Amino acid sequence: MNGFFPPVKKGREDKTMKRSRIWFDDGSIIIQAEDTQFCVHKSVILKHFPTLNDLVSSPQSSSNGCAIIKLSDSAKDWESLLTMIYDHLPTCKSTDLIPFRTLVAMLRLGDKYHGHSIREEALRFLRYEFPQDLDDWMDIWGTKIYPYPESEFDFINLADEIGLHSVLPAMYYTCIKYEKLKDIFYGHPNSDGSVMRLSSDVQACLVIGREKLAFALRKHTFSWLYNKKIIPCSRCSAKPECTAARNQLIRKVWMPVPNISLALDVWNRSEFASGLCSFCAYTAEKLFHSGQEKLWIELPSYFGLPSWDELENLDDPGSPSLS
């Protein structure tokens, strides 16, 4: 890692302890998580986690004048977080990308040790990926999380762990858009051989939501395809052609199965208005957008979740959880 000193022996070594590559020779405290020690700077750690001050002031042990702070967290979480603190604190407003592993560490440790700025920055990343507003959803231009987890299940389980509710509708929708039903029920096989599973409650939400979205496609996003008075529209300049184009699009959206990934997709003229005259295309686009606005308002309900406003209130610390 750039900027870090190479491992140098410091003081008495516990043979069962591993020294992390994050080891500053001029460090002033040693953080110990599981079987790993990190020699870092007290001022840097307390700046982000003032609540650790008590532990630093009265350490259980010390080594060469460095207080050893023994914590019950995972070594992986601390390694991810310290790497980020010392290398570069990513910010969501910039073009920074953030590894999923780091995002998890920021949320877990930021929450536990009251590292408010770290936690808030991590939440900004998460809310960017899974927004509460339709306009923000439409504005997403690629992910800011890289490496991305192997499945959307990781996000859902993370939101559950940290008690974040307002991201769930967009998260659930993204999940049913990309994940197979088989994986939703039996777990997603990761490349390291592990399997990421969802709780049975979440499985039920996703499957029911999937069915409701199929109906919402017809009720909202593509409502204009089912009313012969709308397409061809009153000003249509090519009624037979527009009727044929409408019938073709119906087949495209619903065959062989309803394509729910189109429910909240951006308007694509060449895909959705192919073969329509300019008047019908204009009408279709207008109703497509207004349909999506209605669908977005109803989105939480498809998954059995409370309204957007209620979900946001549940995010506040101290609020009761959904279950």
CB of 306 to Zn ion, least distance (A): 41
Question: What is the Cα gyration radius of the chain?
Answer: 25
Site size toward Zn ion (CB under 5 A) is 5
Within a 13 Å sphere around the CA of 194, how many CA atoms are in the beta-carbon half? 8
Taking a C-beta distance cutoff of 8 angstroms, is the pair 83, 1 a contact?
yes
- The residue among 69 and 280 lying less far from Zn ion, judged by its C-beta, is 280
22 vs 280, beta carbon nearer Zn ion: 280
Exactly one of 105, 118, 171, 242 binds Zn ion (CB under 5 A); which one?
242
Q: Rank residues 12 and 228 by Cβ distance to Zn ion and give the closer one.
A: 228
Contact 152, 179 (CB under 8 A): yes
* Binder among 105, 164, 277, 284 for Zn ion (CB under 5 A): 277
* Least gap, CB of 211 to Zn ion (angstroms): 33
At residue 69, what are phi and psi to the nearest 5 degrees?
Answer: -100, 110
Please say whether the beta carbons of 225 and 246 come within 8 A: yes
Tokens standing for residue 133: 């507003």
Min CB(269)–Zn ion separation in Å: 14
Cis check for the bond before 147: say yes or no (omega within 30 of 0): yes
> Which lies closer to Zn ion via its Cβ, residue 213 or residue 280?
280
Phi/psi at 181 (5° precision): -60, -35
What is the nearest approach in angstroms of Zn ion to the Cβ of residue 286?
Answer: 14
| Window 199 to 238, contacts with Zn ion (CB under 5 A) | 232, 236
Name the residue nearer to Zn ion (CB basis): 16 or 234: 234
Residues near Zn ion, by CB under 5 A: 232, 236, 242, 277, 280
